A = this chain, B = another copy of it.
Amino acid sequence: MFGRTYYCGEISEQAIGESVVLKGWVQRRRDLGGLIFIDLRDRTGIVQIVFNPETSKEALENAEKVRNEFVLDVRGKVIARNPKTFNENLKTGKIEVMVEEVSIINEAKTPPFMIENNSEAAEEIRLKYRYLDLRRPEMFDVFKMRHDVSKTIRNFLDGEGFLDIETPMLTKSTPEGARDYLVPSRVHPGEFFALPQSPQIFKQLLMVGGFDKYYQIARCFRDEDLRADRQPEFTQVDIETSFMSQEDIRSMTERMMKQVMLVAKGLEIETSFPIMTYDDAMARFGSDKPDTRFEMELKDISHLVEHSDFKVFTNAVASGGQVKAIVVKGNAAKYSRKDIDALGEFASRHGAKGLAWLKVDEEGIKGPIAKFFSAEDQEQLCEVLDAKNEDLILFVADSQKVVASALGALRLKLGKDLGLIDENKFHFLWITEWPLLEFDEESNRYFAAHHPFTMPVREDIGKLETDPANVRAQAYDLVLNGFELGGGSLRIFERDIQEKMFATLGFTKEEAREQFGFLLEAFEYGTPPHGGIALGLDRMVMLLAGRASLRDTIAFPKTASASDLLMKAPDSVSDSQLKELHLSIEQVKKAQPENA
């Protein structure tokens, strides 16, 4: 073999006349008038190589054996193409390589799908043959971008004085760890490590250890039923710092994202991202991660309708709920009654008992519920909602939670359906003042909305005992285009507050000591104020690369049922492996006895 002198996609007109050595895969072969033309592909792109009997009969004969995806070692001369045969679709379209010598390094069977962008092959096949899927140029581009994004983040954080510190993967299961992956230990039979859901506790301990500024691009794990946009293992940009305020951390994150956007998208974005409280986001967009690339905000009209004749509205308000509306601008005519029924069904899948609607035309308001409103009320409604001729108004009347969920989802659906979202826009947004706790009806207790180490807003600490539902967290989520890109908070660094927090979560003192004794103890040895943020790298790359699935941003992803189709994992293991771990597998198919 010869040593490569150029990548295929990087030969330009400057190389005309040069003797080059290329290595690559056959994208396509064409035989034409006694010559053979091959599109040779590597990770940088494609170049046309030409076999001509006058240059080398032997090379031409070798080329005759070549099929798609064969691996070739090629020596030849770069020549200018005839301008008539310029290929505008190729970076290298003005030149070609006249082959003097070729060897077939490896052969290839016909692949199960074509190696090309916008493949129509089923994802299952693409995952099984992931190594072929990865040959598609658009896949390489995603991973090149991922590399560039990681590099940019590392360089930025290095410049800010952060140290890249690795934390353990084999760690301890926590009581909140229902979703921990467990790892049995051979050395300690009957005992288990757990894979981390995040390096949270370790990064806090690094702050106790005086490291001051830590980061890690860390693998994290969550064993749960997967939704379309989750993976059992995922990567987060994990950042923690001491002695910095919420504002400091947010501003640093903004500067980091500015660098990322420049590298990944060539965009100069503004820092000072908008800040919205959680309550505002829920009220205006029905979502804690609003997509602000379009308007159609939720408007509260409870006070307008609470005395109307429409019982659905008045009852909702009377029972402590609310009535809200969104306005679909200038599109009323588009929506038939059937279309609106379909929207109603969509809303009911998101919890609404029904979807009321009105259309505005030149004469005023029309629709089944128009009769319940006086002319004056109608006028006021239009004024409050800024509803004009040709607008469609959609109402949900229910509890605050259901109204937000149904109208928030409907807003997003309409935004997409009507093409209101500019896919080239990148709207960053901070959501702040999150609730610290969430009440779980089933277990009749509070859970940490974020994690149990989140610092409450100082003035709310007294409410931990008296009014937990209204304690705000010193937490901040970063939202991009309707996706949660990451979340952070200041952490509790005083033992007494951490103990109060555990008590609010229903831990006895013994349970708290049993599970988090080392952390409570650490707080007694001079713990600095600290906080941080964690950003989902997979999702970040997905949004920047404009992909629809996290799977496209992970080299070897799992399916929605947490399987690796390429290697066939998970899989059964040998009896001797289980014996060494002192484990046995319970019958799976049979029903488990209640008290097993």
Q: Which residues of A contact B (CB under 8 A)?
A: 1, 3-4, 23, 25-26, 41-43, 69-71, 105-109, 111, 129-135, 140, 143-144, 146-147, 150-151, 154, 158, 163-173, 178, 180-195, 201-202, 205-206, 208-212, 219, 221, 223-226, 232-233, 235, 242-243, 245, 248, 493-494, 518, 522, 524-529, 554-556, 558, 561-564, 566-573, 577, 579, 581-588, 592, 596
* CB pair B494 A106 closer than 8 Å: yes
Q: For A584, list chain B residues within 8 Å (CB).
A: 583-584, 586
Q: Considering the chains assembled together, what is the distance between the CA atoms of A341 and B6 in angstroms?
A: 64
- Can you list 17 A-B contacts (CB < 8 A)? A25-B526, A105-B529, A108-B525, A108-B526, A109-B524, A134-B206, A166-B219, A170-B181, A183-B183, A185-B562, A189-B588, A190-B572, A192-B573, A202-B555, A579-B592, A582-B586, A584-B586
* CB pair B188 A562 closer than 8 Å: yes
Q: For A527, list chain B residues within 8 Å (CB).
A: 71, 106
* CB pair A577 B182 closer than 8 Å: yes
Q: Considering the chains assembled together, what is the distance between the CA atoms of A446 and B335 in angstroms?
A: 74
* CB pair B147 A165 closer than 8 Å: yes
Distance to closest chain B CB from A553 (angstroms): 10
Q: For A190, list chain B residues within 8 Å (CB).
A: 572, 585, 588
CB nearest neighbor in B for A538: B166
Copy total for this chain = 2
Q: For A592, list chain B residues within 8 Å (CB).
A: 579
* CB pair A164 B150 closer than 8 Å: yes
Q: Considering the chains assembled together, what is the distance between the CA atoms of A71 and B223 in angstroms?
A: 39
Q: Considering the chains assembled together, what is the distance between the CA atoms of A358 and B408 in angstroms?
A: 91
Q: For A211, list chain B residues within 8 Å (CB).
A: 43, 134, 140, 143
Distance to closest chain B CB from A147 (angstroms): 4
* CB pair B525 A132 closer than 8 Å: yes
CB nearest neighbor in B for A23: B243
Q: Considering the chains assembled together, what is the distance between the CA atoms of A572 and B581 in angstroms?
A: 13
Closest 4 CB pairs of A and B: A134-B209, A108-B526, A172-B569, A191-B570
Q: For A147, list chain B residues within 8 Å (CB).
A: 158, 163-165
CB nearest neighbor in B for A523: B106
| Known contacts A105-B529, A109-B525; A182/B181 CB under 8 A | no
Q: For A556, list chain B residues within 8 Å (CB).
A: 167-168, 202, 205
Q: Considering the chains assembled together, what is the distance between the CA atoms of A385 and B111 in angstroms?
A: 64
CB nearest neighbor in B for A170: B233
Q: For A579, list chain B residues within 8 Å (CB).
A: 586, 592, 596
Q: For A111, list chain B residues within 8 Å (CB).
A: 525
Q: Considering the chains assembled together, what is the distance between the CA atoms of A572 and B188 in angstroms?
A: 10
| Known contacts A25-B210, A105-B529; A570/B185 CB under 8 A | yes
